[in-house]
Amino acid sequence: MSNVFWDTTERNNAINDACRFIAGVTKGVPEVVTGALSYAAPYLTFTGTPVGEYVTAGVAGDSGLTSVPMPAADAMYPAWRSARGEPKWAIVDTREKRVYVAPIPTSSTTATVTVAVLPPEVTSDAEELFMGHAAMERYQTAMLNIAAAYCLLRERYDGDAERFWQFALGELQTLGVAPNTVPSLREAAS
């Protein structure tokens, strides 16, 4: 039996696939954006690819806003784009990568939003996993086991990939990820 070594591209592809998988089952990597809101600019823009519509938001002096998907806001309160007053909702536009605050504050105010996003692609050893977000560090062992499973799945079929997948599944469960949210190795690989 020969040892299998993967080149940098194959290894990075497996790591990127594993990071996206982890982001999917943990509802994304937090991207935090802070900025000023006004009637002229009633939204904050984020850069990552959103994972669902998981967002938390707050304005200065307020503990939090209720997150509302844009289609629901349009259906329930069509005037939200022009209404002014005390902010109550964070309305997520995943296509434009914006989080609107509604009603629009009557004066300039600072807001902070946290959006769940997919991590950017890793292309070199110098880049940080999960955008360097400290809360995601706890998933690194599971991510490495998933990456190993993906690499082994491409090379051999003697149970090694499944064993590493089970290590990852056990680690994710220990970290609080519900087992019914994690697909099987075959489902994930396809």
Range of the domain at 144: 8-28+119-189
Which of 94, 105, 91 shows the shortest CA–CA distance to 47? 94
Which of 144, 169, 155 shows the shortest CA–CA distance to 17? 144
Q: How do beta strands 89-93 and 66-69 pair?
A: parallel
Instruction: Kindly state whether residues 62 and 136 are assigned to the same domain.
Output: no
pTM equals 0.75
Instruction: Using the 3D structure, point to which of 117, 146, 171 is the last residue of a domain.
Output: 117
φ, ψ of residue 182 in degrees (nearest 5): -105, 120
Instruction: Kindly state whether residues 93 and 125 are assigned to the same domain.
Output: no
Residue 2 lies in a domain: no
- Output 5 or 90, whichever has higher pLDDT: 90
Exposed, middle or buried by CB within 10 Å (0-12, 13-18, 19+), for 148? buried
Please determine, for residue 1, whether its predicted confidence score (pLDDT) is greater than 60.
no
**Average pLDDT along the chain:** 86
* Number of compact structural domains in the chain: 2
Please determine, for residue 41, whether its predicted confidence score (pLDDT) is greater than 60.
yes
Please determine, for residue 51, whether its predicted confidence score (pLDDT) is greater than 90.
no
Confidence bin at 24 (pLDDT 50/70/90): confident
Instruction: Kindly state whether residues 68 and 89 are assigned to the same domain.
Output: yes
